[in-house]
Amino acid sequence: MPKIVYVEHNGTAHEVDVAVGESLMQAAVNHAIPGIDGDCGGLCACGTCHVYVPAAFAALTGTPDELEQGMLEFAFDTNETSRLSCQIKATEAMEGMRLQLPARQY
């Protein structure tokens, strides 16, 4: 199980063991990480699981498909590293990844 670190906008970090194949959003919700709501339950329909993926891990998380890209257009404070965590499945190679959370969600 890789350890993923969710870092709130204020700098508070939460280290979570995430099962391989589990979405990063579901892991955050299961561990009550502040700032990840996952209102749509991981259906890529709300944008409340927006995170910033470190450049070093971008290749491991893939690129947003058309649906995710469309949802990101409605998210606050997006940048080139923005992703919806419901669309990223954990792999062992993600060990130690630090996801930054935005100041606010959609």
pLDDT value at position 104?
Answer: 86
Give per-10-residue mean pLDDT for the chain (106 aa): 97 98 97 94 93 95 94 91 97 98 86
Beta strands 3-7 and 98-100, pairing class: parallel
Which domains, from first to last, does the chain contain?
Answer: 3-100 (3.10.20.30)
Token duo for residue 39: 């209102």
pLDDT number for residue 64: 94
Please give the mean pLDDT across all residues of the chain. Answer: 95
If you compute the radius of gyration of the chain from its CA atoms, what whole number of angstroms results?
A: 12
Q: Residue 79 gets which letter from DSSP?
A: -
Q: Is 30 helix (H, G, I), strand (E, B) or coil?
A: helix
Please report, in angstroms and rounded to a whole number, the separation of the first and last CA atoms in the chain: 30
3-state helix, strand, coil split of the chain in percent (to 5) is: 25, 20, 55
Spatial separation of the C-alpha atoms in residues 21 and 79, rounded to whole Å: 25
Question: Given this model, what pLDDT does residue 106 score?
Answer: 65
Q: pLDDT, tens digit, for every residue of 46-69?
A: 999 999 999 999 999 999 999 999
